[in-house]
Amino acid sequence: MFTHILFPVERAAQAPRVIALVHLLAAHGALSVTLVRAHPRMPESDTLHAASAELDHLAARLRSDTIDAHYLLEFETAETGILDAAKQTQADLIVLMPHARHGLDALAHPSITNRLLTSATAPLLIWPERLPETSVGDFLSLPGAAVILPLDGGELAERALPYSVDLANAFGRMLLLVRVTPDVTLPMSIVAEEALVTPEILRAEQEEARAYLTQIRERYAHDLTTPIQSMSLTGAPARRILALAEAHRGSVIVMSTHGRGPLARAALGSVATEIIREGATPALVIPPHAPAPLARTAPLMRPTEVVER
281 and 144 within one domain: yes
164 and 105 within one domain: no
**pLDDT over threshold 70, residue 110:** no
**pLDDT over threshold 90, residue 300:** no
Residue 282 inside a domain? The answer is yes
The percent of residues above 70 in pLDDT, for the chain, comes to: 82
Residue 15 inside a domain? The answer is yes
281 and 162 within one domain: yes
- Which amino acid, one-letter code, is at 104? L
Closest CA to 96 of 113, 77, 119, 83: 113
69 and 125 within one domain: yes
Residue 232 inside a domain? The answer is yes
Give the up-direction half-sphere exposure of residue 188: CA atoms within 13 A in the CB hemisphere. 5
100 and 11 within one domain: yes
154 and 170 within one domain: yes
CA distances from 228 to 169, 173, 178, 249 (A): 11, 9, 11, 18
168 and 262 within one domain: yes
DSSP 8-state secondary structure symbol assigned to residue 263: T
CA distances from 95 to 142, 154, 200, 212, 282 (A): 22, 26, 43, 32, 10
| Contact status, residue 228 vs residue 217, Cβ threshold 8 Å | yes
209 and 266 within one domain: yes
Predicted pLDDT of residue 6: 97
Query: Residue 125 forms beta bridges with which residues?
Result: 95, 284
Average pLDDT for 259-283: 68
Q: Report the chain's terminal Cα–Cα distance, integer Å.
A: 38
Q: Which domain holds residue 172?
A: 139-286
CB-based burial label for 202 (10 Å; 0-12, 13-18, 19+): buried
Domain count, the chain: 2
The mean predicted confidence, pLDDT, of the chain is 84
Alpha-carbon gap, residue 68 to 65, rounded angstroms: 9
| Contact status, residue 85 vs residue 120, Cβ threshold 8 Å | no
The H-assigned helical ranges of 155-266 are 155-158, 161-171, 199-220, 237-247
pLDDT digits (tens, 9 = 90+) for 2-44: 999 999 999 888 999 999 999 999 998 889 999 999 988 888 8
Q: Chain-centre distance of CA 9, in angstroms?
A: 18
pLDDT digits (tens, 9 = 90+) for 33-49: 999 999 888 888 898 99
92 and 28 within one domain: yes
Alpha-carbon gap, residue 307 to 233, rounded angstroms: 32
281 and 168 within one domain: yes
**pLDDT over threshold 60, residue 288:** yes
149 and 126 within one domain: no
Find the CATH number of the domain harbouring 266. 3.40.50.620
Predicted pLDDT of residue 307: 36
Residue 308 inside a domain? The answer is no
Predicted pLDDT of residue 267: 43
Predicted pLDDT of residue 70: 97
Alpha-carbon gap, residue 62 to 68, rounded angstroms: 7
Residue 161 inside a domain? The answer is yes
Residues with Cβ within 8 Å of 39's Cβ and at least 6 positions away in sequence, in order, are 47, 48, 51, 73, 74, 75, 76, 81
**pLDDT over threshold 60, residue 292:** yes
Rg of the chain taking only CA atoms, in angstroms? 21
Alpha-carbon gap, residue 251 to 40, rounded angstroms: 35
pLDDT-derived band at 304 (thresholds 50, 70, 90) equals very low
- The residue that leads in pLDDT, 265 or 95, is 95
244 and 165 within one domain: yes
CB-based burial label for 3 (10 Å; 0-12, 13-18, 19+): middle
Alpha-carbon gap, residue 65 to 53, rounded angstroms: 19
| Contact status, residue 83 vs residue 120, Cβ threshold 8 Å | yes
